[in-house]
Amino acid sequence: MKNHKGWLAILIVVISLIIDQVIKINVKTSMSLGESIRITDWFYINFIENNGMAWGMTFFNKMVLSLFRLVAISLIGYYLYGQIKKNARLRYVVCLALILAGAFGNMVDSMFYGLIFNASSPYYVSYFVPFGQGYSSFLLGKVVDMFYFPLIVATWPDWFPFWGGEEFVFFSPVFNYADACVSVGVISMLLFCRKDLDDLSTSFSTKRNKKNPVTEEDK
């Protein structure tokens, strides 16, 4: 059973990475930066790039962010391996594998896209270049986003504070398949893996208490 869960986790990560990269490379090599393709009124393929945080957010220097994500991916992978060895529940393993796949999918962009592509532009379509002759260096590549779901487009009432009369869009972030993997993994974990998360919290508390035992004076 442990072997089956391990192979399933590997399969989820590999397939998710392939799907993610096929979509990103196709978008990057067939659309100019900022180009938008209407699929329906509530779904567009909208090509943008960002420094790599989920949903296009940016709070850190790019190199710091990439190094932080490498550490986070390593910790998630190590934890997933440990859970498989402990024969954790299948649903928990699947959620962790989705989170790992999504995190690693965006990391691939940061690691290699700056080395193998020329810079994207609104005026031309990007293309492959000889390895190392791209627009940036290792860990400094930009992440490709493309899915845009403006489910509701409306205008705030004039009387509404601050935003009165301005356009309102729900849902406005542009994201990619890797972001979706992380979101599905996290949401599914919160909904269906409460027992596993409680066990993790209990285990963490037990280890902390062993390192810092309560003495008579503390009591």
Task: Report pLDDT digits (tens) over 78-110.
Answer: 999 999 999 999 999 999 999 999 999 999 999
172-177 mean pLDDT:
93
Q: For residue 165, is it left (φ>0), alpha (ψ between -120 and 50) or beta?
A: left
From the list 145, 158, 199, 218, the catalytic residue is: 145
Q: What is the mean pLDDT of residues 187-195?
A: 95
Task: Please answer whether residues 106 and 93 qualify as being in contact, where contact means their C-beta atoms are separated by less than 8 angstroms.
Answer: no
- Average pLDDT of the chain to the nearest whole number: 90
Kindly report which listed range (156-160, 168-172, 198-202) carries the lowest average pLDDT score: 198-202
- For the entire predicted model, the pTM comes to 0.87
**Whole-angstrom distance, CA of residue 156 vs CA of residue 146:** 26
Q: Is 41 a catalytic residue?
A: no
* Catalytic residue, candidates 41, 109, 158, 179: 179
44 φ/ψ angles, rounded to the nearest 5 degrees: -130, 150
Q: Which amino acid is at 16?
A: S
Q: Does residue 145 have an active-site annotation?
A: yes
Where along the chain do its domains lie?
Answer: 1-211
